[in-house]
Every structure is written in structure tokens, then in C-alpha cells.
Structure 1
Amino acid sequence: MKAIIPVAGTGARLRPHTYTQPKALLPLAGKTILNFIVDQLKDAGIQEFIFIIGYLGEKIEEYVNYAYPELNCRYVFQSSRIGTGPAIALTKELVGDDEVFIVMGDTICDFDIKAVLDSPYSMIGVQKVDDPRGFGVAEMGREGFIEHLVEKPKIPMSNTALVGLYKIKETHIMYECLSHIFSQNITTEGQFHLTDALQCMIHRGAKIQTFKVKHWYDCGRKETLLETNALLLKKIGNQVDPTAQIENAIIKPPVSIGPGSKISNTIIGPHASIGANTVIEQSVIRDCIIGSFSNLHEVVLDNSLIGNDASVKGLSRNLNIGDNTEIDFG
């Protein structure tokens, strides 16, 4: 089985951080979003990965090759942004007739991956949501198979939302159906969606089941990214790298403190992730994600997202901040 991970999006809702860093490489609970996805698949035995890259794609390729030299990784470039369907279609020659597990590049979920991989059927991850109009939605038949799939329905017939996890056994039918929706110009809001190709598969006789995820971590916006950081820290527990220098500081678990960081006369936590080689002095940091190689002095930060190589000095309000930085003293 091969894994397909689309990571070509621009991450517009996470500006200014995604001006210089792909969303998949944003820090989260001591790792990156992409680490959580790849590690879960790798631990389940998948060794072949296809990454669909685009915006800042060279950073994805460089990071994956450095972090996972043992994996067989290939890359395809998506130049147009007209939906998930064209992105997946780019992988046809690399996949052949092999089964695939598709994970959208910002989708972190808890689920029984072994049970999904062992199932004799294609499967799609789902979760009940309050308002399914912004998602792909599955309607179930009596025999436990999906009867109908629709992308972003104005009047949903179900609140069972697709979370971005797809195990596809009949890949030849999937690629045929992708070609079909392109030739017939089947779009939703001007985009060609994988959901419509999967509905075509069902129409052609493919049997697709759903599997429920235990938790779906939202990494789409600053507020939800911070919430996800807190939830994952609670799940993983305290992570303080042994090379971090901590002097006269109070650590309130759970936190993640990266290698080479220097923390002095400071209160850290709870729910704070500190990147590598960051210096924090005379500050209070809680419910935050702080990037690597940053320098914070005399600041009180709550629910904040600070990028790499940032310098923030607090009480004097004398700031010298580089491009693409957002500061809210309110």
C-alpha cells in the first residue's frame, strides 16, 4: 500500500506564518503537523509515500528527506489549485494498481488504523458534526455501505462529515472516475473534488464503508491550532529536551521545550510548545506555540502563535519585528 499526502495548499487562514512555512511544517506539540501524519502511517507499516507539493514545496521535500531517510518518498508538483481531484490524479503513474491511503496534509486523527488497513473494503474516515455544510457528507445505506456522497451540500441529508482520510482498494476505478468528473466538468464551487470521484466509484459498483475517528484535530486556523496543541500536549505529556537549559523557572505541565532552548526567570505553561534554540527571559508563556531560534524578553503571552527567528521584547514596547509578524497587545 502507498500513502498519498496532499500538501500543496497555501494555508491562507494561517497567515502570516504560512508566508514562509508550509502549513504542514508548522510546529505542534513538539513536532510538526506532517510528523503526526507520517508517523502514524509509518508505524502501521506503510513505507511508500507520495507527497503532492506546490507552494513552498521544496521545504516539504527537504524536511521529509531529512526526517525520514528510511522511507521511499516521491513527489509530484501541483501547479493549479482547482481542487483535491486534480491533485490526486497527478499520482496515477506512481500508484498503478496498488491500494492507497490518502490523508489530507492538515488531517490529524485518532483511529484504529490497523483495523482500517485490514478491512477488505475501501473505507472513508468520518465524524458527526453540528454543521456539515462545509464538508463532504456521507449518507449510509441499510447494509452499512455508503449510499451517497456529496461535497458541501446546501441541505445536508446527514451530519456525517468526511475528515480527510481515505483507504482506496479499487484505485483503477478511482482514477477512471477522476477522469470522468474532469471530462464532464463536475465541480462544486468551481473545484473538482475527490468526493465527486468517490461518488462515481459507488455508482460504478465499488463498495465503500466508513470508519469513525476517535478525535479529529483541527489545524486550519490559529485558534484551533492552539486548541489542538493543548489537546495533543495533554495526550502526549511533558516533553522537555535534556539539552534545554532551565534556570530559576517554573514549568507547569504539559509543555514541550525543544533542544538547545534557554529558559530563565520565566513561567512556562500549561499548554506551551517552545521550539529549538529559543531564548526566553523574565516572561510568562502559556497556551502558546513559539517557533525555533526566537528570543522573548519581558513578555506575557497567552494564546499566541510566534514564528521562527522572532524577537519580542515586552515592557518597553520598543519592537523590531521582521516581515509577516502579527502582534496583539490587547
Structure 2
Amino acid sequence: MKIIVPMAGIGSRLRPHTLTIPKPLTKIAGKPIVQRLVEDIVKVVKQSVEEIAFVIGPTFPKDTEEKLIEIAKSLGAKGSVFIQDEALGTAHAIQCAKDALNGPCVVAFADTLFKADFKIDENADGSVWVKQVDNPSAYGVVKLKDNIITDFVEKPTEFVSNLAIIGIYYFKKGEILRDEIQYLLDHDIKEKGEYQLTNALENMKQKGLKFVPGEVSAWMDCGNKEITVETNKRVLQFAHMEGENLVSPDVVLENSKIVEPCYIGKNVILKDTVIGPNVSLGEGSEVIDSAISNSLIQSNVLIKNASLDHAMIGNHVHFDGDFTSVSLGDYSILN
């Protein structure tokens, strides 16, 4: 089994946080988004993962490749990194990792997290992870008959289905997908100016390949600040229900309280402060005379005299102010 992770987008909706760190490496409850994604996929497929191939952008920081290879290594897999020089669509992004597209493959776009409990249907040619949504016109959707996908429809203007494609796919033979995408590229077949994966899937279906849905119980996006803070909250709640302890044992509490669920990293000092619920606070941080809830805060942060709720704060930030739902990128100072 191989996992292909296209993650070359610049994450403009999550700025200023993505000005210094690629969105998939932004930490949620102490782990990068992309790490949580591949860990969850490994749990679901229940197969040995041989290789994890990441597709990144040309302007990503120099240490990105090293971090991604380490994530793959932590799951017992070989890590490979490919570069998508130009944003030309979902199919083009996948094809950048064509050397890894053979045998059983999962393709997962690194801007979403999920919870699921199902087995891959080995008798089908592929699976498409889906979730029921209230507004299907904003998504690619699938139509079903007898639990077989009959149509792939990109952002339908009229209702055809409420099963949205969440951006995770299984292919029994990755080389077939590779060849179909190459056909799109060779013949310059685009939709809305880009090479779309749904076009390759439709071609595969018309040639007789059978795809089945893999429905997820929870689908968590990491698009903008508000949604990412909400995703952090839900990940913490899932971890708490599963009995995980995400609070480092070396946290220094001085007249302070932690209200679960929370992630608290190493070497954190809390003075006259209430943290939680639903807060992630990265390592090396200090919080004084503050109350923080429902917030995502990264590492090496100093916070004083604050009352924060639904805030998102980057690394190496100094904050001392009256604002509540702030969004501060790395190395910011607000007094």
C-alpha cells in the first residue's frame, strides 16, 4: 500500500499563519495536520504502508522535505517528496508523484481530517471517501446505485446527491489512475482551466471500473482560521473520548487550572490562568493572568492579561491585550 498526499497549495485562506509554515504542517492538538491525516488513513486501511509520497509547492521552506520524510518514517514507511511547480489542478498534482502510483494506493489531499470505521472493499477497483452535507453545490459529489458510484459531479448547480467527496480515494491499481491522468495531460483535457481528478475517475468508470463509497462519520476542514480552530476543538474532543492524555506531565501550574480537553506541550508555565476547554498550547509557552478557551496556540508563545476565545496564534508570539478572537501569525507582537 502507498499513500499519495498532494499538499502544494499555499493556504491563502489561512493567512497570516501560512506565510511562514505550509498549511499541512500547521499543528492541530500538537501534531501537523498532514501527520494526523496519514495516521488516520493507516488506521483505516489496516494494511502495511510501504511508501508515503508528498507533493509540495516550489516555495515551501527548505526543511519541509526533512519533516515529511520523518513523518513517513514514524509510520514505518519510506518517505518521498515531489514538487508541483505550477498549480494546474488536482489531477496534475497527483501526477507529480507518478513514480509512486502503482499497486494499491490511497490519494489524500492534505487539507482535511476525518474519522471513519470501515473496511476497504477488495472486490472493487476503488473507494471514494464521502460525507453527507447540507450544501452539496459547494462540493464534488457522487451518485450511487446499489452502493456503486454511478456519477461524479463537480459542484452541481441542481441537486443530484448530498454525498460530498472529501478528498480521499483508494485505488486498487494506482497505475491505471496514472495512465488516465496522463491521457488528460497529453490531450490537454481541462475543466475550469485545470486538470481535474473527477475527469480521470469518470473515464475509469466508463471503462468498467467499479468504485464504492467509504462514508466517514466526521469530516473536519482546515481551510480558514475559524474552521481550523473548530477542527482543533473536535480533534481534542475525539482524543479525550478515546482516553488520550494530551497534557505534558512537566506543565508548571501556579494558581492555575486546566479544563479538559486540552493539549499542553512540554515546558509550559501557567500562572494565575485558566486554560480550556478545547485549547491547544504548544511547547515552551508561558501564560500569565489569562483565561483561554476554544483556541489554537502554537509554540514559544508569551500571553499576558488576556481573555481569549476562538483565537489562533502562531509561534513566537507576544500577546498582551484586550482582544478576544485574534488571529496572529508567527513572530507577532501585540501589546
User: Is 2:287 aligned against 1:283?
Assistant: no
Partner of 1:99: 104
**Structure 1 residue runs of 4 or more that deviate by more than 4 Å after TM superposition:** 117-120, 321-327
- Among 177, 184, 187, the alignment partner of 2:180 is 177
Is the 8 Å Cα contact of residues 89 and 178 (structure 1) preserved in structure 2?
A: yes
Please give the per-residue CA displacement for 1:20-58, whole angstroms capped at 9, x wherever unaligned: 011111121222211211222344332310001114164
Name the count of aligned residue pairs. Answer: 321
Give unmatched runs, 5+ long, in structure 2: none
Alignment correspondent of 2:129:
125
Partners of 2:68 and 2:176 lie apart in 1 by: 30
Match of 2:271, as an amino acid?
S
Q: Distance in 2 between the 1:99 and 1:30 partners?
A: 30
Structure 1 residue runs of 5 or longer lacking an equivalent are none
Which residue identity is paired with 1:131? N
Q: Percent identity?
A: 32
Aligned to 1:265: 272
| Contact 2:17/2:330 (<8 A) preserved | no
| Separation (CA, whole Å) in 1 of partners of 2:12 and 2:114 | 22
Kindly state the Cα deviation for residue 88 of structure 1 after the two structures are TM-superposed: 0.8
- 8 Å contact kept, 1:136–1:161: yes
**CA 1:107–1:322: 2 relative to 1, 3 Å:** closer
**Pair 315,60 (structure 1): closer, same or farther in 2 beyond 3 Å:** same
Which of 232, 237, 240 in structure 1 is aligned with 2:235? Answer: 232
Aligned-pair distance for 1:67?
4.2
For the Cα contact (< 8 Å) 1:233–1:255, is it kept in 2? yes
CA RMSD of aligned residues (A): 2.3
CA distance in 2, matches of 1:184, 1:131: 33
Q: Distance in 2 between matches of 1:224 and 1:253?
A: 20
Report the 3-state secondary structure (helix = DSSP H, G, I; strand = E; otherwise coil) of the residue aligned with 1:65: helix
Establish whether residue 88 from structure 1 lines up as the match of residue 91 from structure 2.
Answer: no
How big is the shift at 1:12? Answer: 0.7
Q: Which amino acid aligns with 2:106?
A: F
Compared CA separation, residues 14 and 117, structure 1 to 2 (3 A):
farther
- Which TM-score applies when normalising by structure 1? 0.90
Q: Which amino acid letter does the alignment assign opposite residue 94 of structure 2?
A: I
SS in 1 for 2:120: helix
C-alpha contact (below 8 Å) 1:239/1:255 kept by paired residues = yes
Look up the SS of the partner of 2:185 in the other structure.
helix
SS at 1:146's partner residue?
strand
Give me the TM-score of the superposition, normalised by structure 2.
Answer: 0.89
Q: Note if contact 2:280-2:297 (Cα within 8 Å) is conserved in structure 1.
A: yes
Structure 2 Cα separation of the partners of residues 322 and 63 of structure 1: 21
Taking the aligned partners of 1:59 and 1:84, their CA distance within structure 2 comes to 24
- 2: CA distance between counterparts of 1:7 and 1:19? 15
Alignment of 1:198-277 (within 5 A): 198-237=201-240, 238-277=245-284
